[in-house]
With several copies, the nearest count.
Chain A
Amino acid sequence: MSAPACTPAELMVVNAARLLREGDVVLVGVGLPNLACNLARRLHAPGLVMVYEAGVIGAQPERLPLSIGDPCLAVGALSICSMYELFAHYLQRGLISVGFVGGAQIDRYGNLNATVIGDYRRPKVRLPGSGGSMEIAAWADRVYMMAPHRRRRFPARCDFITSAGFLDGRSSRRARRLRGGGPAAVVTDLALLEPDAQGELTLVALHPGVTIEQVQAQTGWPLQVAEDLRTTQPPTREELETLRALDPQGVYLG
C-alpha cells in the first residue's frame, strides 16, 4: 500500500505537527504554522495551547484565520491580553515553549532574515520585517521554521539577521545568555534539518524519495549529514484528512 499523495505544503505541515508535544504552549503564526498546531491538537496533542502575538491565549478558532488578529481567534479564547503583556508576561517571562518563525532566508546557523534582500538602506527587496520574530527566536524554549527548500532561501549567511538562530555557532548564542534554546528544527519540503553540537543546521531526515544530493543542491553551504540519517514517515491518511478539513479551500495547502 503506497502512501497517499500530498502537496509540498502538506508534507511540511504534517512533519511540523509531529514535532509538537502535548502541553506545549505555542506562539502561532498564520498560515502553515497555524495549520500544524491545529493538526497536532486534533491528533496527538489535544492540550496544546495556541497563543497569538496579538494577545490571544488558548484560541479555538472555528475557521482558518487569515491573519493572526482574526476575530475567530478571540471568540471562545481562554484569555486576551494586550500586546505588551503578551510579549512581556508570556514570551520574555518564559511561558512559551514553542515559537514558529518564518522569513525569506535561513542560514547555516539557523539565523533568519525577514527584513531585506540587499542593503538595508537601499533594499533590493523590502520584506515585511520582524514582527514578533526577533523576540520569539530569542525567548521561546524551542523554535521551528518551515520553508520550501530552495538555494536562495538557504544561504550560508543571511543578508540581514532579523532574528537570532545560533549566530556564529552555539557558543556565540550562549554568550548572549538568551533564555530560549534557539532553533530546534527546520522543516522543508525535502528534509528535516536540526542543529548539531556546534549549532550548524544538519541534515537529519529525508522525506520519502528525496536524496542527499537533491538537498545539498538546494542548500547554500556544504551540508553535514547526521550519522543516523532517517527517512520521515510519509503522511498518514488520517493526518492528511484531518489537515485538509482545516483548509478545505486549499488556501495554504495548495
Chain B
Amino acid sequence: MTRTFQTAHHAGKLTTLAQAVRRLVHDGDTLYAAGFTHLIPFAAGHEIIRQGRRDLTLARATPDLIYDQLIAAGCARKVIFSYAGNPGVGSLHALRRAIEAGHIEWEEYSHFGLITRLAAGAAGLPFLPMNPTGADDLPRANPHYRSVTDPYSGRQVTVLPALKPDVAILHVQRADPQGNAHLWGIVGEQKEAAFAAERVILTAEEIVPPEVIRSDPNRTLIPGLVVDAVCHVPHCAHPSYAQGYYDRDNDFYLGWDAISRDPKGLAAWLEEWVFDVCDRQAYWEKLGPQVHARLALAPAWSEPVNYGRCSAAAEDREARS
C-alpha cells in the first residue's frame, strides 16, 4: 500500500527513454500511456515495441493509434478501454481484428466509468461511485461494475474499483529534472494516471530549470514526487500533439485507416517507422521538412499572472544579494 518515491533532492531523474522503458516497463505490466487525444506518448510506445515487451495489459480511455500499434506488434495480452476508435475517422483496425478474432482479452467501460477507476486509484480509495446511467448491458458484461446502497437515500449507486497501473507514461510540455511538470491545453486524465500508477515515466518537450516551474506552481499538474524517470523527448507525441509546440497530424490519423486495415501494410509500417528508426529524433527527421512545416504553429501566449512577493521579504532578498 505504501508507494515508494524518489527524494526531491535526488540528483535528478534524467535518463534516456530507452533506459527508462528498460528499467520501468516489464513484461506482463498494466500500462497506462495517458493523454486524451493530446500529449499521447507515441515515442514511448515505439520504444516498447522495439524492446519487444510482451503480455502487457494496455489501459487507456481511448486506445488511439498508440495501442493499435502496440497490439499489432504483439506486445499486448489485454486491452482496457472506453472508446476504441480512431477519433473522427473510424475503427482501430488492428485492435478490432484482435477482438473479433478472439486474439486479445478486453475489458470495457464508458469514459466516466474508466476515469472513475483511475480517480479512485489516484485518491488511494478502493472504489468510487457514479450515478447509474440506465444502460445495463455493459455493467452486466463487466463484473467490475457493482452497486452499493446509498446509506442516505436507500437508492443504488454504481461503483467501480480503483485502477492502479503498474506503470504510467506521461508526456508533458515542460518539466524540471526532478519531474515537476507544467501541462496546458487538454489535460484529460494525465494527473489521475500519474497519481494512480505505481511507477511513472515522464517525457517532456523541454527540460527547464526548477525556477520556471516554481514561477507558476498552479500549472504543475504532476509533481516530481510521483515521477521515477524524466526523459527529454521533443516531438514525442506525433501524430498526437503538444499544445503550443506542434499541431495534431490529422492527415496521419486519416491515413492510418488504410494502413491498419491491412495487416501486411501495418507490419511494413512498423518495420519502417519503428524498428528501422533508432529513436524519436530519427523518426522526426524522417518525417521531413514538409510535415514539420505543416505542423508548425503561430504563437498564442497566455497572459502572465503575478504571484507577488511580500515587500519585506523582497527587500531582505535584495539587501542580501
Contact = CB atoms under 8 A, between A and B. Distances in A.
Direct contact of A and B (CB under 8 A): yes
Interface of A: 22-23, 25, 30-31, 46-49, 53-58, 60, 62-63, 65-84, 87-89, 91-95, 111, 115, 120-135, 137-139, 141, 160-164, 167, 173, 176-179
Given A23-B8, A54-B37, A88 B134 contact: no
A68 B195 contact: no
Given A49-B8, A120-B141, A163-B133, A84 B81 contact: no
A134 B110 contact: yes
B9 A22 contact: yes
Contacts of B62: 131
A173 B134 CA distance: 7
Contacts of B180: 58, 78-79
Contacts of A81: 187
B69 to A, nearest CB: 17
Given A25-B5, A71-B241, 17 more contacts: A46-B9, A55-B188, A57-B220, A58-B223, A66-B89, A66-B250, A66-B254, A67-B248, A74-B243, A75-B307, A83-B36, A87-B115, A123-B100, A130-B108, A160-B137, A179-B1, A179-B2
Given A78-B214, A84-B119, A92-B125, A134 B8 contact: no
B76 interface: no
A138 B310 CA distance: 35
Nearest to B190: A82
A93 B126 CA distance: 10
Contact of B186 (A23, A54, A84, A179): A54
Interface string B76-104: 00000111110111011000100110100
B3 A63 contact: no
B206 interface: no
Interface size class of B (residues with CB under 8 A): 35 or more
Contacts of B85: 127-129, 131
Contacts of B130: 92
Contact of B316 (A62, A138, A139): A62
Contacts of A160: 137
8 contacts: A68-B37, A76-B214, A88-B124, A89-B124, A115-B137, A133-B110, A134-B112, A173-B134
A94 B36 CA distance: 23
B224 interface: yes
Interface in B1-39: 1-3, 5-10, 36-38
Interface of B: 1-3, 5-10, 36-38, 61-62, 81-85, 87-89, 91-92, 96, 99-100, 102, 108-113, 115-116, 118-119, 122-125, 130-138, 141, 155, 180, 184-192, 195, 210, 213-215, 217-218, 220-221, 223-226, 241, 243, 247-248, 250, 253-254, 300, 307-310, 312-313, 316-317
B1 A132 contact: no
Contacts of A164: 133-135
B192 A115 contact: no
A129 B313 CA distance: 32
B310 A63 contact: yes
Nearest to A131: B83
B117 to A, nearest CB: 11
Given A56-B186, A67-B87, A75 B138 contact: no
Given A55-B188, A67-B248, A128 B83 contact: yes
Contacts of A137: 133-135
Contacts of B6: 23
Given A130-B83, A161-B136, A47 B124 contact: no
Given A87-B111, A138-B131, A173-B134, A47 B9 contact: yes
Nearest to B37: A69
Contacts of A176: 132, 134
Contacts of A80: 184-187, 217-218, 220
Given A87-B112, A131-B82, A133-B110, A75 B133 contact: no
Given A54-B188, A94-B1, A126-B99, A138 B135 contact: yes
Contacts of A126: 84, 91, 96, 99-100
A162 B140 CA distance: 11
Contacts of A79: 180, 217, 220-221, 223
Contacts of B119: 84
